[in-house]
Chains A and B, each alone.
Chain A
Amino acid sequence: MEATKKSIRIRRIYLVLAAAVAVLAGLQFFTAPLASRPVTGHITTAPKEVMAILERSCYDCHSNEQQLSWFDHLAPASWLVKKDIDKAREVLNFSEWDKVSPAAHTGNMYAILNMLQAGKMPLPPYALLHPGAKVSAAEIDIIKKYTLSLTSKSKEATTASEHPAVAGSIPEKFPVSPNGVKYTNAFMQWTVISMSTLFDNSIRVIYGNDIAAKAVREENFHPWPDGSVVVKAVWKQELSPEGEIRPGEFINAQFMEKNAQQYKSTEGWGFAKFSGPSLEPTGKTPMFAEQSCISCHRQLAESTGYLFDVPLKINPDSIIAKIR
């Protein structure tokens, strides 16, 4: 009596196991293979030690030259792997570096350095399953030294020249970004939230409308209220006769407009960039912001609601009374 009960139980366990294996095996038929794409160009200017780190820790996702483990190929894990690779190659692809200008190379190296310093790359779940891909503090230093060397000897700000005549070259109608964000010159009347500079010898001013300025003062970042609009105006640096740096030629105006419903795939922010005297919008399709804006803001500025240039929390509150 006891023996038959036991054998029935064992048979059940086998049945469940067999079913699980069958389901898993079946799943494999639903695995779309990773699109194979040709290698068109690698980084050619970085030292060997830098390349060794990138190849070992990043190429599985950010390249056309994956060397995946057997378990990465098993569904359903393989679906996640494929999704990550598709996304990763869209934003940064070490096998298609021929498409990357020298200025973009520098920008990408800074993005890489910042991702490593923040512990965001390689993606933590991947690093857990592939311990060999972890990047050590000493390796981050190697990347840092190389990255900083790219800008240490870069050109100085140009000395003041006559401002190029830009008046009158504005298009009749203000441009619209492919994702629907409209350019407006109203920002020139808004509150200045902060000012910044970047390694690329530019100087920036970040404006916010009333909703955004209020959100900063109240630290209402999670989430920022709908209707917040932040505009960053970017100029080239120019050397003044006093030996100071002043904003020179206008480069672009970048927008972030909060609408949780409309911009779901980019954390509720509508990104846009309008460049040059004609305010040429960046992007060919509404997808451009997913491909070229949100990853960096999402990974590195999450703690302030995906904005980098919020004023630092370092001034005593008594200062506000003093300066009025």
Chain B
Amino acid sequence: MKYLFCLLLTGITILTSCTGKRPQDEHVRVVFDAGKLKFIASSLHPGQETISALYGNEAAYRLLSAGDKQATGAEIKLVTWRFHDNPQYTGSRINGALLRVETVHTVTPDSITYHLEGNPLPDKATAATRIQYILGYKPVQFPGQQIFSHH
């Protein structure tokens, strides 16, 4: 009887130790899922050792390429990673730890929302300066082609 009780007790302890704690975080290879948004621009910040990708919808592409400040409905995500030496090739660097995602939405030219997820910004910039910075990106160039071709 005493023996059974002991067994029961250890059983409960094992069970609670499994369910009580969150499972250990596993490391994964992250491919950022931008949903319907497309890659439009990028930047590299040697001082902060970061590299960023800017994604947007067609309105965002128009806004950034033509400086069409009246464009409404632009959705932009700026995704920032720390860059690392590529372990497979000395002389090359690759994005590594994901730091933050900033989202800008131009509801109307006068109403622009800003949202930050992840690590805080190193220079504690305000939303207004980040919006201005993000809307200052220019789309990357491809020979004779545009990322959004029909407009």
Contact = CB atoms under 8 A, between A and B. Distances in A.
Answer whether A and B are interacting partners.
Answer: yes
Interface of A: 110, 113-114, 117, 144, 147, 151, 163, 166-170, 185, 188-189, 191-199, 203, 205, 207-208, 213, 216-217, 219, 233, 235, 237, 240, 242-250, 253, 276-279, 300-301, 303-304, 308-320, 322-324
Contacts of A144: 90
B57 to A, nearest CB: 12
A317 B26 contact: yes
- The 3 lowest CB-CB distance pairs between A and B, nearest first, are A170-B144, A316-B25, A245-B44
A237 B43 CA distance: 9
Contacts of B47: 243
A193 B133 contact: no
Contacts of A193: 31
B60 to A, nearest CB: 15
Given A169-B143, A235-B141, A114 B89 contact: yes
A217 B31 contact: yes
Contact of B26 (A163, A166, A170, A316): A316
Contacts of A197: 44, 51, 83, 92-93
Contacts of B93: 196-197
Given A245-B44, A279-B143, A310 B92 contact: no
Chain A binding surface, main DSSP class: mixed
Given A114-B89, A195-B53, A240-B43, A317 B94 contact: no
B94 A313 contact: no
B143 A250 contact: yes
Given A168-B144, A193-B31, A323-B117, A245 B97 contact: no
Contacts of A194: 94-95
B87 interface: yes
B91 interface: yes
B29 A205 contact: no
A117 B90 CA distance: 9
27 contacts: A185-B142, A188-B145, A195-B53, A196-B86, A196-B95, A199-B91, A199-B92, A205-B53, A216-B29, A216-B31, A217-B28, A246-B43, A247-B41, A247-B42, A249-B141, A250-B140, A278-B143, A301-B88, A311-B29, A311-B94, A312-B95, A312-B96, A314-B96, A317-B27, A318-B25, A322-B117, A323-B101
B110 interface: no
A239 to B, nearest CB: 10
B122 interface: no
Residue among B32, B44, B145 with the highest chain A CB neighbour number at 10 A: B44
Given A213-B31, A247-B141, A319-B98, 7 more contacts: A110-B91, A170-B144, A185-B142, A216-B31, A314-B96, A315-B29, A323-B32
B39 interface: yes
B80 to A, nearest CB: 11
Contacts of B92: 196-199, 308
Contacts of A167: 144
A324 B96 CA distance: 18
B46 to A, nearest CB: 7
B38 interface: yes
Contacts of B136: 242
Contact of B89 (A205, A243, A300, A315): A300
Interface string B17-42: 00000000111111111100011011
Contacts of A163: 138, 141
